[in-house]
Structure 1
Amino acid sequence: MPQSIYINGEYFSRENAKISVYDHGLLYGDGVFEGMRIYHGKVFRLREHLIRLWESARAIALEIPMSIDEMTAAVKETVKRNELEEGYIRLVVTRGGNQLGLDPFRCEDPQVIIIADKISLYPEQYYTDGLDLVTAATIRNHPAALSPRIKSLNYLNNIMAKIEGLRAGCIEALMLNHKGEVAECTGDNIFVVKDGVLMTPPIDAGILEGITRNAVIELAEKADIVVRQIPLTRHDIFVADECFLTGSAAEVIPAVKLDGRHIGDGKPGPVTQRLNALFKDLVKEE
């Protein structure tokens, strides 16, 4: 079946889904987005994703030209039209615009784009054996410059770190914040386990507040696993018993090595495996 992409209330084939080359999203990375997973024909935690989208848009003074309820209906219709039981949604809102220049208030036609497609972020072997990580020299955006809590179209910060990881032979890289503390990876939040305690950087460490991250924290607390959101350094990862990453596309994936050092015994640990199983049960329930 041909792919059907939503743009401003209409549906187009992949080949005909187009916006202006003058759009601020293309010219300046001026816009926001969400990445969401489809499980069993439904979008996981759609409401939470849309609330985060609206908050990101508000932070950059971008007016989304529809309500959350209208966006919810559009997302669900896009999933239905593409007949996807398992897949991924990329929801994009750009500033629009039809002329050159930085002034965002001269843009009066924000573009809403909804793409539904299949996705495989990491090969299956990494979920079984775990990822190797390398620390990127590129730090996470300083919160006083561009808040990492805004899920903006300007992802060059992450891409530069991703390039470093790939050139070092790792498909994921760890990013530190301006204090030298652990922030997150290029596209995922990070957790470590030490003596049965689950730890992850707090929101003010310069991270995106991940939807999957929050779901895993909820699952851990329900399973009586102690959770601490505290500042972490690379040392905490080096000496951890376990480490894993979370994200909408990645879900829950173990990490077993950082900068050439094995984490724990170099294999996915029991807490990681337990939370991964609980997360899979959660997406079936929800």
Structure 2
Amino acid sequence: MPEKVYLNGKLLDAEEAHVTVFDTGLLHGVGLFESLRTYRGQAFRLEDHIARMKKSGSKLGMIVDGDAGFYRNIIDDLLINNGLSDTRVRITVTAGSARVGVYTDAQAQPTTLVTCGPLQVPDDIYHHGVGVLLCDFRIHNTDPIARHKTTSYLPRLLALRQAQRISMADAIWYSDEGYLLGGTTGNVFLFKDDELLTPSLELPVFPGITRQIVLDIARELQIPVRETRISMEDTLAAQEIFLTGTTTEIMPVVAIEKHVVGPGRVGPITRTLLQKYRRNVRKELNI
């Protein structure tokens, strides 16, 4: 069965879906995207993802058409036509066509693409954890896109490629001032001295939806939480570290390159938060 995608108002075979060669996403990387997860055919926190995308669009001068109901209908159609239930969904919106020079017109008709595919997250990582690379790149606090999920993704892909070359699952990033920011595709938490720490949103940190859920869960469980500035020294002294993201949920980190995190196995705080997170998903979606 040919893979179906949604593009600009039409459900199409993937091989038949085309954008103009003048699309600003293609020419200049001017675009936004959201990745979300479906559980038994239901999109989790879709409203939050669309609200975040629209907020980024407003900040960066891009139009994002449709509301959560609009995208829910598209996702439902894609799941049915692709015979899928538990999936990774990606919504991509570019600033549309710009035939002359570089993109400057914030009012151009956007290109909207929605795709879905099987999840590719091995269950083994939740039992044994993963290793991560210390990324060489640094993010400046004034970077205009650092707090947004844009299609200008090459630096992150380069970091991920570098990590995978040495059999690491991800890379963790620091600011130019030396503070921990997050992973390549998600946020980061560490447990140190009986306190759960995560980088403050005052830094160039992406405001992850899973990040906020984990903060809420930790507070509900009366785990002390602090959003703060985390140094390299703090990172290496952590008893537990994990990354958060919509598709991976809560991914335990047991090594930073050759440095072993805590005892080198998935810690009790990470396990507790992951179990509670999954219970909350099932309760929220009534599955």
Report what 2:192 is aligned to. Answer: 194
Q: Is the 8 A contact 2:46 2:68 kept in 1?
A: no
1:156-207 deviation line (CA, Å, top 9, x unaligned): 1212222332233312111101211100111121111123311100112211
Cα 1:279–1:124 shift into 2, 3 Å: same
Number of matched pairs = 284
- Return the offset for 1:68: 4.6
Q: Matches of 1:67 and 1:130 in 2, distance apart? A: 37
Does the alignment pair 1:85 with 2:93? Answer: no
SS at match of 2:202: helix
Which stretch has the larger CA shift, 186-195 or 270-279? Answer: 186-195
Q: Is the 8 A contact 1:39 1:87 kept in 2?
A: yes
1:133-165 deviation line (CA, Å, top 9, x unaligned): 12111123x242323111111011212222332
1:212-251 deviation line (CA, Å, top 9, x unaligned): 1111111111111111111101211211111111101211
Cα 1:73–1:18 shift into 2, 3 Å: same
Q: Matches of 1:132 and 1:98 in 2, distance apart? A: 42
SS at match of 2:265: coil
Report what 2:23 is aligned to. Answer: 23
User: How large is the RMSD of aligned CA atoms in angstroms?
Assistant: 1.8
Report what 2:39 is aligned to. Answer: 39
Which structure 1 segments of 5+ residues have no match?
none
Q: Is the 8 A contact 1:138 1:160 kept in 2?
A: no
Q: Matches of 1:147 and 1:114 in 2, distance apart? A: 22
- Return the offset for 1:82: 3.2
Q: Matches of 2:277 and 2:174 in 1, distance apart? A: 27
Match for residue 157 of structure 1 among 155, 158, 165: 155
Q: Is the 8 A contact 1:175 1:186 kept in 2?
A: yes
Report what 1:110 is aligned to. Answer: 110
1:93-152 deviation line (CA, Å, top 9, x unaligned): 11111525213318733111111211214x332221111112111123x24232311111
Which stretch has the larger CA shift, 234-243 or 27-36? Answer: 234-243
Report what 2:275 is aligned to. Answer: 277
TM-score, reference length from structure 1? 0.93
Q: Matches of 1:143 and 1:58 in 2, distance apart? A: 20
Report what 2:73 is aligned to. Answer: 73
Q: Matches of 2:106 and 2:129 in 1, distance apart? A: 48
Cα 1:98–1:64 shift into 2, 3 Å: same
Amino acid at match of 2:270: T
Report what 2:129 is aligned to. Answer: 130
Q: Matches of 1:46 and 1:117 in 2, distance apart? A: 17
Q: Is the 8 A contact 1:59 1:150 kept in 2?
A: no
Which stretch has the larger CA shift, 271-280 or 143-152? Answer: 143-152
Which aligned pairs between 1:211-250 and structure 2 lie closer than 5 A?
211-250=209-248
Identity value in percent: 28
Which stretch has the larger CA shift, 80-89 or 172-181? Answer: 80-89
TM-score, reference length from structure 2? 0.93
Q: Is the 8 A contact 1:96 1:107 kept in 2?
A: no
SS at match of 2:138: coil
Amino acid at match of 2:232: R
SS at match of 1:109: coil
